Structure 1
Amino acid sequence: MTQPSEHVSVQVEVNGRRYQRSVMARLTLSDFLRDELGLTGTKVGCEHGVCGACTVLIDNEPARSCLMLTVQANGKQIRTVESLASGREMSPLQACFQKHHALQCGFCTAGFLMSATALLEEGQPTREDIVETLSGHYCRCTGYSPIIDAVEEAAAKESS
């Protein structure tokens, strides 16, 4: 049985780049991304999987990185919010967030963006689909209407 202080070798692909590291067996994926790889766009809010700030895409599916151990991501493809922009150019979804003022403090934004990215990649969501997908995230600053409007506009742009 692996002890919590034991190190385990993991191989992951993060934002298109391969990494091989020896990590503590109990290291969360959120801590690995932030502390080991310097990808601080993934936020750690509640550390219970409730707020959604730590959401990343694992093999294109949204996942709460604060609830997942790095060893569970071994061999997986991970995308963080840093993967959305191309250099200094925002993705269409990020531009819609900016246009609709769908962020204030920005703490929750990465999680919303990643869940919305997965939804948009599935196809053409309805407003109800957007509301349901984003209902697992907390925003204490803006409220949800601008966020939903931003995702809805991004979906409309993708379909045209």
Structure 2
Amino acid sequence: MHTFLVVLQNTPGWAWLILAYLVYSGVKRTRPHVKSPVQIILPSAIFLALIFAKLAQEHFAEPALAGIAAGAILAVIFVSSIRPARDTYRQADGRLVLAGEYHSLALMMTLFCVNYANAVGSAMAPLATGSAVAVFGYSLVNGFCTFYMASRSLAHMRATSGAAV
């Protein structure tokens, strides 16, 4: 318990601000909402940039590449099968009406938790978090969540005109 409290106390304030923003953003998406194409693509672009920065930080190691690739493939298959944009409609002004969903909240919390745990682990046990299995594991989760969001964003962008349900 003591270690847990030390970790929480030594977490920088900006990490808690990011967590608060991700929770706020995810909760907002649980209700139907209207977004511009930029508002749909921008979060995915940011997460894609972060995943490629993380990949560069790992020096493009094979476990990281394999994990991200496997996560990306699984995400595309998953998005193709559940069709998350089936209730998305494009308005006359080009903005998109999206149904409320919990995927975003779950994905953003998963990304935050995995990367937070990896950062803490890197500080406390660098050999363990640097192992091939650990690198593959968090790369798989990061790849899945990031490419799920990106694939879903592209699916929303293909929405046609119509009336929202």
Give the TM-score normalised by structure 2.
Answer: 0.27
Structure whose residues are more often strand by fraction: 1
* Structure ID, larger Rg: 2
